[in-house]
Chains A and B, each alone.
Chain A
């Protein structure tokens, strides 16, 4: 948000203001700092932190890229709930005249509102969230039936953009740091259902370990907060079912 983009014609002294408390610090020490930020008719939480950095404290650290809900880099805790800040309008989340903004839960804080996503992405790898090709570029493209049950299951979870909102919403991640988390397991489930993929056995083993899908308590925090309206709980239930059958057959 630039100054010229402000829709309000009020002078700074008469503009309506809101009270914004922002986490400042890192994992070793931190506290909330209050800022008085001008309210606009159309204003997102990302606009608010940008205003603070440009007009109140240039040392405020946060992360964003696309600003339109595609890149998944601007997620933060807004009034205690994980959200994409670029797609969260202030008027939808204002409590009284206050907003509290904090870094994503369940992740180490680098500084202020920027979290270290390394572990989140490493868990994606640990869940075998990568495609295992069965063909080479020299083979013909095998047609995939979009109506098949497997493809429908894969497509239902495919739109994840790795924003980390589900990971921050998950109480199991909070209690069990080894738990792979909803995003990584959802990704594994989409690949289990991808008929072109050849990594089924190794993936089923990967999601059946100490931090695997069986640790999920089905509390559905991921489902409640996923901005893309995906259902990782359903994907994890699918993994539980598939791994249980595989375990009974002695495959894993």
Chain B
């Protein structure tokens, strides 16, 4: 059900997400406590290659990680397997990627 490649993909994306979450929360708290409002934050993120790459990579990592994680849960508890399970995993991954990228473009674009 979960082979070496999917396992590796989930662990590597977890390795990426751990520092990303810390950076995201730290910067958010710093910005808000510093008195920046939404417009001022957007002014700093829009057009920024750095924030675009940061959140773009974050969204890719989340999409892969969550899709594989849900695959395991759905297999073990809902007994879905075979093509249906593969299709669900890809569907979840692609939907998360699209929604996430839409948010990234809204903040950076």
Contact = CB atoms under 8 A, between A and B. Distances in A.
Contacts of B11: 244
B3 A210 contact: yes
Nearest to A246: B4
A208 B7 CA distance: 10
Contacts, number: 40
Contacts of A240: 7
B25 interface: no
Interface in A194-252: 208-212, 214-215, 240, 243-244, 246-248, 252
The SS class assigned to the B binding surface is: helix
Given A176-B75, A176-B76, A210 B1 contact: yes
A178 interface: yes
Contact of A247 (B1, B2, B8, B76): B8
Contacts of A176: 1, 75-76
A175 interface: yes
B5 A247 contact: yes
Interface residues of A, number: 19
A209 B3 contact: yes
Contacts of B2: 210, 212, 214-215
A176 B1 CA distance: 8
Interface of A: 172, 175-176, 178-179, 208-212, 214-215, 240, 243-244, 246-248, 252
Interface of B: 1-8, 11, 72, 75-77
- CB-CB nearest 4 A-B residue pairs: A214-B7, A175-B76, A208-B4, A247-B4
24 contacts: A176-B1, A176-B76, A179-B1, A209-B3, A210-B3, A211-B1, A212-B2, A212-B3, A214-B3, A214-B6, A214-B7, A215-B2, A215-B72, A240-B7, A243-B4, A244-B4, A244-B7, A244-B8, A244-B11, A246-B4, A247-B4, A247-B8, A248-B8, A252-B4
